[in-house]
Amino acid sequence: MARLEVFGVEGLPEIVGGMDLSAMIYEAAAAQGDPLLDGDIVLVTSKIVSKSEGCTVELDDVEPSEFATRWSEKWDKDPRVTEIVLRESKRVIRQIGPVLITETHHGFCCANSGVDQSSSGARDRILTLPVDPDATCRAQRARFSELGLDVAVIMTDTFGRPWREGQTDIAIGVAGLNPLFSYIGQEDPHGHEFRVQEICTADELAAAGELVKGNTSRVPVAVVRGFVWERDDEASLAAVLRDSERDLFR
C-alpha cells in the first residue's frame, strides 16, 4: 500500500532571473539531508518560477485603460494593477463589487489572473504567472534527468474556488505524470459505474505539498515521495482545464 512522505525543501536563496531552479532544488534537498530520489514528485511554487523567468511588471511602466481606471477608482484599487490583471486574462468571469475573477490566457480561472503584488520583492513590482507552465515543468524534469534523476515536476499556485472558503494549492503545470487518474469503464460487482470517474491527482499532490510549504514561509518547494505514478512524457495540465462549452460555471 502507498505510504507517502511529504517534506519541504529549505535553504533556497532569493530567486532572481535566469537561475537554474532544478539544480538549486537538487542541491538544497541534498544539503538538508534529503537527496532527491527517482520517483519523487517535485512541487514548485509558481512564484519562484515567475521570478526566475522574469515574469514581472514594473507598475511605473503601466498605462491603465479608461475601463481599468474607472473600476479601480470605484473600489479603491490601483488602476495599474487592474490593468495588468486584465492584460493577463482572456475574459472576465465575474466582476462583482471589488472582486475580479478572470480566465487567464492559459485557461486558469482564478482571482486577479493570479498576479501577485506581495511576493514580488518590491513595492511597485507585480509578479505574473509563468507564460507556459507545462513547458517550464518539462524543462525542469529534463534538467533533473541530466542530473541523473527521474522525477515528476508539478508547478503549483494557490487559488480560491466557488462555494467554499479558503484557498488551496492546485497544479498549474505538470511534467512526467498524467494529472488525471481515470476510473472510467470500471464497474462495481453489481455492474454500476463508479460514482467517481476521474481523480485530479495533480491537484491532490499540490494540496499535500502546501501543508509543508505554507504561504508566507521561505519553503517554495515540496517533495512527495512514495506515490506510484506511470511515466507519461506527453502529460499536460491542459487535460485538467475544462472546456468552457462543458463548464456550467463560466
Site stretch for a second copy (CB under 8 A), options 2-10, 19-27, 56-64, 138-146: 2-10
DSSP structural state of residue 161: -
* Interaction of residue 179 with a second copy, rule CB under 8 A: yes
Residue that is written with C-alpha cell 494593477 in the block = 81
CA 48 to chain centre: 11
180 is a contact residue toward a second copy (CB under 8 A): yes
Q: Which stretch binds a second copy (CB under 8 A): 16-24, 50-58, 129-137, 193-201?
A: 193-201
201 binds a second copy (CB under 8 A): yes
Please say which residue, 22 or 112, places its beta carbon nearer to a second copy.
112
Which residue type, as a one-letter code, is found at position 49?
Answer: V
Least Cβ distance, residue 58 to a second copy (angstroms): 14
Residues 36-55 interacting with a second copy (rule: CB under 8 A): none
Report the b/e string of 105-124 with b at 16+ CB within 10 A: ebebbbbbbbbbbebbeeee
Interface with a second copy includes 234 (CB under 8 A)?
no
Using CB under 8 A, which of 28, 59, 86, 101 touches a second copy? 101
CA–CA separation, 74 vs 84, rounded Å? 17
The 3-state DSSP class for residue 143 equals: helix
If one counts every other C-beta atom within 10 angstroms of the C-beta of residue 201, the result is 20
* Binding span for a second copy by CB under 8 A among 83-91, 129-137, 142-150, 182-190: 182-190
In the complex with a second copy, which residue's Cβ is closer, 10 or 27? 10
Strands 41-45 and 221-225: antiparallel
Determine, following the binding rule CB under 8 A, whether residue 153 of this chain makes contact with a second copy.
no
CB of 240 to a second copy, least distance (A): 5
Q: Which of 23, 87, 117, 132 lies at the binding interface for a second copy (CB under 8 A)?
A: 117
DSSP 1: -
d(CA 240, CA 184): 15
CB of 250 to a second copy, least distance (A): 7
CB 207 within 8 A of CB 170: yes
Closer CB to a second copy, 87 or 225, in the complex: 225
